[in-house]
Structure 1
């Protein structure tokens, strides 16, 4: 599938599971627990990660009026890690206070630049689009560490604007975050394309702001129409 960029002047991107991923998330948590003398199989960890993401992230109630702060982002993800730790039975070995502290340590761990890797099509696609004259930007629900992660991966300079939920106080699927991006970039919705992986956040929400959106399906379980690689743009 190829996506025509006819009439498009700017391409905006989601980040998590669109440009970047944490390929070793199971290993990271397994090592974290092992260092605390708790041993769990990676398959078991993966099952509870998947369950937590499905219930708390993908099925998270949303009405398009979402706001955001560094504190609310931390609180959401810490609660997700608590869900995983309870699923793994950690509460049978450690007190609730300890699990709470660990959930915040895991938030810091999973928002650190060194944990992330670019998908293999990212740099070449960004370079190709930039050379072709397209303006590139980011609109992402992410921790305040996002710009340092993009810098660490060598791609921050490709993007203007970089709209991060925890910095602007708005969170997808609130269409206002996309209107803010358009305003900051001096773009019209008609000349802008958005690429992301989440049906509500990355397709429905930009559509409400008049922006055409394309779903990227990075994993086999993802359904619906869309592309499998950024190489399909243009």
Structure 2
């Protein structure tokens, strides 16, 4: 069947979060605090290992007291903040308030950059009359990120887990997106980087295509194969 709609994941698919070093450096600068360069790099590496940066690496270990919040983190904004600030607090910082500041930073457009081929691919799909949507496991509103980076005009529907209380791979989230775009699952391609979460679309009957979750500089054209899949 002809593909009439394409759903995209957000983090690791269309956009990439900044490095943990850039993240920490920006928050320290905003707070007017300084660390020695070796200490800053060590703290950034520890935050990365803790999985404290949403969109970055997964935690090497989730403490028992955070296990439930982590498992359900994308169902509400409160759980999302609790999970990520809880992971961050495993790493001592000069001021405890920095943990919430780090969380706040990751929700800003400055913390994200589109993959190099994202706009080109979205524009080409839209020009072919393909309906486009974003389906994301997330605890906050990502629409300002798309607006700031000029990608919002291509997106016909945003289906965000925290707004529905449902996380991928639950097929209901993908069904909601298909309904919003006016396409059937059998006419839809889901593009994402997480084989478990994004692969849930297959249970609904969607075709699925995976991209690699890599830094933007290492994945300059990872989205372009989607154009061939749509035809």
TM-score of the aligned structures, taking structure 1 as reference length: 0.77
The structure 2 residue matched to 1:55, chosen from 51, 56, 59, is 59
Residue number in structure 2 paired with 1:107: 103
The structure 1 residue matched to 2:83, chosen from 76, 85, 89, is 76
Determine whether 1:38 maps to 2:38.
Answer: no
The structure 2 residue matched to 1:125, chosen from 105, 121, 126, is 121
The structure 2 residue matched to 1:25, chosen from 16, 20, 26, is 20
Partners of 1:13 and 1:194 within 8 A in 2: yes
**Secondary structure at the residue paired with 1:199?**
coil
Partners of 1:18 and 1:216 within 8 A in 2: yes
Residue 198 of structure 1: CA displacement?
Answer: 1.0
Distance in 1 (CA, whole Å) between partners of 2:213 and 2:59 is: 20
Residue 51 of structure 1: CA displacement?
Answer: 4.8
Distance in 2 (CA, whole Å) between partners of 1:156 and 1:116 is: 14
Distance in 1 (CA, whole Å) between partners of 2:81 and 2:73 is: 15
Determine whether 1:200 maps to 2:199.
Answer: no
Distance in 2 (CA, whole Å) between partners of 1:190 and 1:159 is: 20
RMSD (CA atoms) = 3.0
User: Unaligned 5+ residue runs, structure 2?
Assistant: 52-56, 216-220
Give deviations 1:110-141, integer Å, cap 9, x for gaps: 10112211111011111111111211110012
TM-score of the aligned structures, taking structure 2 as reference length: 0.78
Give deviations 1:20-62, integer Å, cap 9, x for gaps: 112343122034346434342436623641452333799x89x
**Secondary structure at the residue paired with 1:68?**
coil
Query: Equivalences for 1:138-157 in 2 at 5 Å?
Result: 138-157=134-153
Residue 202 of structure 1: CA displacement?
Answer: 1.2
Task: Single out whichever of 68-77 and 104-113 deviates more from structure 2.
Answer: 68-77
Paired residue total: 209
Partners of 2:139 and 2:162 within 8 A in 1: yes
Partners of 1:13 and 1:137 within 8 A in 2: yes
